[in-house]
Structure 1
Amino acid sequence: MTDRPEPWEPGSGPVAAGKRHAPATERNREAILAVLREELPSSGLVLEVASGSGEHAIHFAAALPALDWQPSDPDPAALASITAWRAEAGLPNICPPVRLDACAKWPVERADAILCINMVHISPWEATRGLMKGARAALPPGGLLYLYGPYLREDVKTGSGNLAFDASLKVRDPRWGLRKVEDVIAAAEVEGLAFQHLVEMPANNLSLIFRRRD
């Protein structure tokens, strides 16, 4: 079954104030990390767009200490959660979170790689277009844009679970919903981001790998 947006759960521990827990992060973080180990540069700054609770950033920063991590989110409550997780983790390679709206001017002008996990299907299509535009501006030639989440594919039959998930998202917000991989690739190509390959992931999710063209 696809990882679904679930109600936030309150965090626990020494810095619990404002800290949120997203159960899906514990289910998918190791599978994502395995792909990131193959795709990320050996050093540099990694910008995570739509960091949510901040749990992915903490996990990846701990596992890949040679990289600096810049979490971001447009939601003040998410920024508070990221701040709390960061304070508890005490890792030296995580920057303070910044407010970043994919559709607006980005506060981070340069990054060696960009991650975006589980945003594309729970945001308007304009956010995906903004993500591609921002990635084009921020990445160096050859820089990685990594997307993770559930997608539709023209040449692959969509399971009933994903169809139901798509319908439930559109009930919550008609601007949301699972996107076609082909449409995401086309949006990336407009901004000079070349699709490299996809990786099948657990729970009917995909990793999509893009690189900025020279």
Structure 2
Amino acid sequence: MLLSSQAERNWEGLCSVLEDVLEDQSHRQLLALELGSGTGQHVMRFAQKMPFVTWQPSDIKDEALNSIKACITATHAKTILQPVHLDASEPLEKWTGVTSDSCDVIVAINLLQYSSFKTAQGAFKGAGQVLKQNGLLITYGMYAINGTITPSCNENLDAELRRKNPEWGLPDIDVLRQLAYENGMRLERMVEMEEYYKCLIFRKL
């Protein structure tokens, strides 16, 4: 089982945001898709705290999928489905485990800065198709705003990411807002998190 120290640090704050935005729907069973589930720590913690949500974890790496399976086995989680291989840059027909209008929530934690713009485009297009009406796409990470990155530590992170892969880097909130609009969603809330992170909450209209 893989372990991420960052996931251990930030899961509680993320869980609080999720509980807050889903509170009015906690009387019914919801289906949530996590894009880029990584180690599986987030989905494991979320499942423990929100039993009214069934989680579909996904990733593109076999080592991540194996780690998620180990998390499910270790915790005997009843509301986490077996993880699926899913590349968000691919069209919906290739998204395993979900269909059109099937999900109440889609979560992407630290995905967009570690992926290409094609992945962001695919994630928003797919979300626009997979989410039910009034469904939520929630992204967490660090962002540029109007082309500007602040403070300097975020600038350094952006430069470091681009050195590793020229297609990576902090996405611009205004670009994501436009992507959401093009796919039938709107940016409803922006929640300030620890260490200059933000949660962006998009709703399907």
TM over 0.5: same fold?
Answer: yes
Partners of 1:172 and 1:152 in 2: how far apart?
Answer: 18
Three-state SS of the structure 2 residue aligned to 1:140 is strand
Three-state SS of the structure 1 residue aligned to 2:43 is helix
Partners of 1:90 and 1:78 in 2: how far apart?
Answer: 18
**2:128 matched to 1:136?**
yes
Residue 112 of structure 2 corresponds to: 120
Which of 5, 15, 40 is the aligned partner of 1:33?
15
Q: Percent identity?
A: 37
Q: Shift of residue 66 of structure 1? A: 1.3
Partners of 2:2 and 2:178 in 1: how far apart?
Answer: 34
Amino acid at match of 1:196: E
Partners of 1:179 and 1:67 in 2: how far apart?
Answer: 28
TM-score (norm 2): 0.92
Alignment CA distance shift 1:28-1:99 (3 Å): same
Three-state SS of the structure 2 residue aligned to 1:91 is coil
Partners of 2:44 and 2:158 in 1: how far apart?
Answer: 29
The total of aligned residue pairs comes to 195
Moved over 4 A (4+): none
Residue 14 of structure 1 corresponds to: none
Which of 85, 88, 99 is the aligned partner of 2:71?
85
Partners of 2:186 and 2:151 in 1: how far apart?
Answer: 28
Q: Deviations over 1:134-191 (max 9, x none)?
A: 1111111100100000011139761110000000000000000001111111111111
**Any gaps of 5 or more consecutive residues in structure 2?**
none
Residue 86 of structure 2 corresponds to: 100
Preserved contact between residue 107 and residue 138 of structure 2 (Cα < 8 Å): yes
TM-score (norm 1): 0.88
Q: Deviations over 1:105-151 (max 9, x none)?
A: 21111211110100000000100110011111111110010000001
Preserved contact between residue 33 and residue 55 of structure 2 (Cα < 8 Å): yes
The CA RMSD measured in Å over matched residues stands at 1.2
Which of 50, 56, 61 is the aligned partner of 1:70?
56
Partners of 2:120 and 2:8 in 1: how far apart?
Answer: 25
Which structure has more helix as a fraction of its residues?
A: 2
Partners of 1:161 and 1:26 in 2: how far apart?
Answer: 21
Q: Shift of residue 39 of structure 1? A: 1.2
Amino acid at match of 2:4: A
Q: Shift of residue 197 of structure 1? A: 1.3
